A = this chain, B = another copy of it.
Amino acid sequence: MNLNKFDKVPIYEQIIYEIEKEILSGILKCGGKMPSVRNLSLQLGVNPNTIQKAYTELERMGISISAQGQGRYVSEEALSLIRGKRMIMIDEIYENVLKLEAAGISFDDIILELKKKKEVEDDVKA
């Protein structure tokens, strides 16, 4: 997991995002066990309370379930829930595009610019 303690986005949100990524990529499986609070705490060098906070949030979103004394599991609906969350990110991106338009940059120019950046990156990889 990639955490940045100096980032403006809080650690517990970074953890949420990283765990979601692991579920999306199949490292953590739906119905499977999640790392325990204490384990993850040691592994990431982060206080257990912070892990707890991230886990509580994941549970609130229905992505994980906890069982007293037994541990914590990835919910069966986790995958679709996370995919839904990601879809919402498109809305947020669109909002930012609109703000740019308001600043006088045309929609098509923005799309063009994004494609250009993408091509550059693909070339670098190749």
Contacts and interface: CB of A to CB of B under 8 A. Distances in A.
A contact face: mostly helix, strand, loop, or mixed: helix
Nearest to A104: B24
Number of chain copies forming the complex: 4
Contact of A93 (B5, B21, B24, B110): B110
Interface in A7-65: 8, 10-11, 20-21, 24, 60, 65
Interface string A92-126: 11101101101111010011011101100000000
Nearest to A109: B90
A6 B118 CA distance: 35
A96 B99 contact: no
14 contacts: A6-B65, A6-B67, A8-B68, A10-B68, A21-B102, A24-B102, A24-B104, A86-B104, A89-B100, A90-B113, A90-B114, A93-B100, A97-B114, A107-B118
| The 5 residue pairs across chains A and B that have the minimum distance between CB atoms | A86-B103, A5-B67, A94-B117, A6-B65, A90-B113
